[in-house]
Structure 1
Amino acid sequence: MNKINGFSLVESMVSLLLFSMVCSFLLPTAMTIFEKLDYQKETSRVYQEIYEHSELLRHKSVPVNFKDKRIQSFYYQGGIQICAKNKLEEKCIF
């Protein structure tokens, strides 16, 4: 009798099936993680713009009543309100 070494076709197909099942479960998870990462990056950018604008206001480099496409500041209830927006959301600080 001949001795057969190595994987047979059935074993190879089972291992390929298991590998494809693992990949099919990991792919949606990875996509969700990347979407959350993009959202957090945009939110961080909005807060960075608010911080930079508040520094400009503090050093009187821009007027308090300021309006741009992405950021605006104005007097509100005795203080200064700064709002910044992007394509996803708008954030304001007082």
Structure 2
Amino acid sequence: MLNKINGFSLLEGLISLSIFSLICSFLIPGLFKMVDTLQTEKQKTMLLQTIADESNLLLHDNKESNKTIGNLTIQKSKTEGVWQICAKSATFSYCSLSDQK
């Protein structure tokens, strides 16, 4: 009578595990890079959204000011009739100009 073997042998399990490990070794660094890129883009988007919000407030408030919101610093200043709104975070800075009077 033939013995019927159900399941995997040790060799088949080791080969499957090594293939799985190789695939993970290529995918995990890409995943970390993607998460880092997403965090950077999120910070940039928050910075630009804050500048957009402050630009809308500038229509109603014509005073120079400095403001800190979380880790963002926003500065509104007027030079030669042109308003400049600058926002700075730990990693980015961006300035926007407006000719509002």
Whichever residue aligns with residue 66 of structure 2, its letter is: K
* Number of the residue aligned with 2:95: 92
Segments of 5+ residues of structure 2 without an aligned counterpart are none
Residues 1-94 of structure 1 mapped to structure 2, 5 A cutoff? 1-60=2-61, 63=63, 65-69=64-68, 70-94=73-97
Cα separation, 2, equivalents of 1:15 and 1:46: 47
Q: How many residues align?
A: 92
Cα separation, 1, equivalents of 2:36 and 2:80: 37
Whichever residue aligns with residue 15 of structure 1, its letter is: S
Cα separation, 2, equivalents of 1:22 and 1:78: 59
- How far the C-alpha of 1:26 sits from its partner, in A, is 0.6
Whichever residue aligns with residue 28 of structure 1, its letter is: P
- How far the C-alpha of 1:79 sits from its partner, in A, is 1.3
Segments of 5+ residues of structure 1 without an aligned counterpart are none
Q: Which has the higher helix share?
A: 1
Q: Which has the higher strand share?
A: 2
- How far the C-alpha of 1:89 sits from its partner, in A, is 1.1
Identity %: 38
